[in-house]
Amino acid sequence: MSELEKAKQEVEQVCFAYHKAGGTGDIKDWKCFYDLENKLIDKVKIANQPQLTIPKSIAEMIDKEIMADAVTKFAMFHEGFERLWLSDELEMYCADKENYALASAYLAGKFLGVDLVKVGEG
């Protein structure tokens, strides 16, 4: 079943629960409706969050060029960019301030142990 079909089913369940609760007026039916509705709202909130993505080749370059623990790697990346000792390709990628911020967020996520930036294709 595709994600779209699953989403349609969930919306139908919420609509059915609303119709049933409105028809019976039973507090249990309304609770069921609100529970389903809240789950759906939470899924929509998660799905609508922006996803930061860094190309896999850039993430690999960062990991390969800067050999250190997570905290030192973060600091060395910034120093390396300022002093121009990163590879030309990585320097060119980071010359764009948004890409520089993505690379920084990628390293910060590694330090924190969370995926702040998704590693994508390329």
CB 118 within 8 A of CB 53: yes
For 30-78, the pLDDT digits (tens) are: 999 899 889 888 887 777 665 889 999 999 999 998 888 877 888 899 8
pTM over 0.75: no
Is the pLDDT higher at 11 or at 48?
Answer: 11
Q: What is each CA distance from 86 to 40, 64, 78, 81, 90, in whole angstroms?
A: 45, 11, 10, 6, 6
105 pLDDT more than 90: yes
Give the separation between CA 120 and CA 55, rounded to whole angstroms: 5
